Amino acid sequence: MLRLSLENLQPGMITAKNIYNANGNRLLGYNVTLDERLIARLANIGIDSVFVKNPYFDDGSQEILHEKTRVKTIKLTQNAFTAFRRSKAINLADLHNVVKMMVEDVIHNRNVLIHVTDIRTHDDYTFGHSINACLIATVIDIKMRLSKQELQEMAFGVILHDIGKMLVPPEVLNKKEALSTEE
C-alpha cells in the first residue's frame, strides 16, 4: 500500500483503504479503480492524499485500528470538537468510550504499523491530528509498559490536547500570513 498525494494519482490506480469524511460517511470505497473524474472529485472535497495498492507487491498491510473503531473515533471526535466550539461543553462519556476502544485495538495490534486516519481535509485537520497523535502516543506508551488504565488516561488527554484551538476563529487559525498583535 502506498499513500500518494492527489498530484501523484493516476487513472487506473486502485484504492487500498476506504476514505471517510469527518461524519464517518464513506466517500470512496476500498478496491475502487480511480479515474480522472474521481481524482478531481477528491480534490474538490479537500482530500489531499489517498492510499492506493502497490502494483509491485502485496504488503498485507493491517490496520492498527479496526475500521469500525476508526469511523466511530473520527465521528465522535469531530462531534466533541464541534460541540465545544458551539457551547464550550463536551460529552466526555462518548469520547471516553471511544478512547477505550482505540486503546484496546492498539493493544491487540501493537506490532502493526500505524496508518494515520483518513481525515485529510484542511477543515478537519485539528481533530484528525488529535486522533493520529493519540494513536502514536498509545503505541509509545505501550512500549513504556504503562498499565491499561494509564494508557486510557493518557489517550484521553492526548485526543483532547488541541481542543482549545476550537475557540480560535478559523480565519485566525488558518491565516497564512503573520498574525497581527491583536490576533
Query: Quick one: pLDDT at residue 59?
Result: 57
The pTM of this model reads 0.63
Task: Kindly give the parts of the chain with pLDDT less than 70.
Answer: 22-23, 58-63, 110-127
Query: Quick one: pLDDT at residue 122?
Result: 43
Q: For 34, how many CA atoms within 13 A lie in the half-sphere containing its CB?
A: 28
Do 88 and 24 belong together in one domain?
A: no
Residue bearing cell 500500500: 1
Do 111 and 138 belong together in one domain?
A: yes
What's the Cα-to-Cα distance from 51 to each of 38, 61, 136, 170, rounded to whole Å?
14, 11, 19, 28
Query: Quick one: pLDDT at residue 121?
Result: 46
* Count of structural domains within the chain: 2
Cβ atoms 12, 53 nearer than 8 A: no
Do 32 and 71 belong together in one domain?
A: no
Do 18 and 76 belong together in one domain?
A: no
Query: Quick one: pLDDT at residue 155?
Result: 92
Do 20 and 104 belong together in one domain?
A: no
Q: Which long-range contacts (CB under 8 A, 24 or more apart) does 133-141 make?
A: 133/158, 133/159, 133/161, 134/99, 134/102, 134/158, 134/159, 135/64, 135/65, 135/102, 135/106, 138/102, 138/103, 138/106, 139/64, 139/106, 139/110, 139/114
**Which is it for the CA torsion 58, 64, 70, 74, positive or negative?**
negative
Do 118 and 156 belong together in one domain?
A: yes
Write the CATH number for 37.
3.90.105.10
Do 71 and 161 belong together in one domain?
A: yes
In a domain, residue 183? The reply is no
Domain span at 20: 2-52
In a domain, residue 16? The reply is yes
* DSSP secondary structure code for residue 168 in this structure: S
Complete DSSP assignment for 83-147 = HHHHHS---HHHHHHHHHHHHHHHHHTTTSPP---S--SGGGHHHHHHHHHHHHHHHHHHHTT--
Do 124 and 93 belong together in one domain?
A: yes
Query: Quick one: pLDDT at residue 113?
Result: 55
In a domain, residue 176? The reply is no
